[in-house]
Amino acid sequence: MKKKHLPFLLLVAFTSINFLQSCKDDEEDNDPTPTEQEFVADDNTFADFANWSLDAEKQGIDPAMGAAHGGNDSTVIRKIYFKDGQAPVNGVYPKGTVIVKHSANDSTYNVITAMVKRGAGFNSANDGWEWFILGADGKIAKDTAGVALRGANLMNGMCAGCHTNATSDWVFSK
Ligand code: HEC
């Protein structure tokens, strides 16, 4: 192929992509009952969390936490990462907010938990939050039966039962 044809071909390709895209938009606009989509987290959602915005770092025994997050062990450092540094908007975190908490010490304690605003009616009792336990590899952990450790009612509602005491939309740290 002669090189001078390339810009033309690229233009044709680009125009048809635009055309297809606008058909798709039309279909969406014509949908009489648009339903809001949930933000459903997968392993990729948490990738590289240790490089996100570290917005809180805590250490020391916190009686209000009991054994949760190693809160009864003074050697455990609790690091809280907010994806994209997300802050609440008028007191509410938007759908798609991802927060990871890594609690660890130099020896055996190493627990990673997360909360994700899934939204769109999911877990409305917890204002749309889904609760997670991640493995040391940063992926969603599974129990011995292979069931993913995630959900509205994780650990029989223990996560939510304590986080209901947080001041800003189930979040303590920011
Ligand atoms: C008994 C209380 C308690 C329980 C149970 C608990 N948490 Fe927390 N969590 C806290 C506190 C307090 C913080 C604030 C940070 C700190 O002081 O370490 C926190 C912080 C977090 C954070 C960072 C965002 C924030 O609120 O600051 C995430 C994510 C989190 N917890 C997830 C979970 C998950 C998932 C579970 C259940 C597996 C859980 N938590 C169970 C008390 C609790």
Ligand 1 atom with minimal separation from the 166 CA: 26
How many whole angstroms from 10 Cα to the centroid of ligand 1? 52
Which residue out of 53, 162, 169, 171 has the highest number of ligand 1 atoms within 8 Å of its CB and is therefore the one to mutate?
162
How many angstroms separate the CA atoms of 53 and 107, rounded? 25
Q: Pull the structure tokens for residue 41.
A: 């987290």
Whether the predicted pLDDT of 12 surpasses 50: no
Query: How far from 112 is each of 4, 35, 86, 88, 96, CA to CA, in Å?
Result: 56, 33, 19, 22, 19
Any ligand 1 atom below 6 A from CB of 114: yes
Any ligand 1 atom below 6 A from CB of 113: yes
Whether the predicted pLDDT of 21 surpasses 90: no
| pLDDT for the residue numbered 18 | 46
How many angstroms separate the CA atoms of 101 and 78, rounded? 7
| pLDDT for the residue numbered 145 | 97
How many angstroms separate the CA atoms of 74 and 131, rounded? 25
pLDDT digits (tens, 9 = 90+) for 37-93: 999 999 999 999 999 999 999 999 999 999 999 999 999 999 999 999 999 999 999
Torsional sign, CA 130, 81, 37, 143 = negative
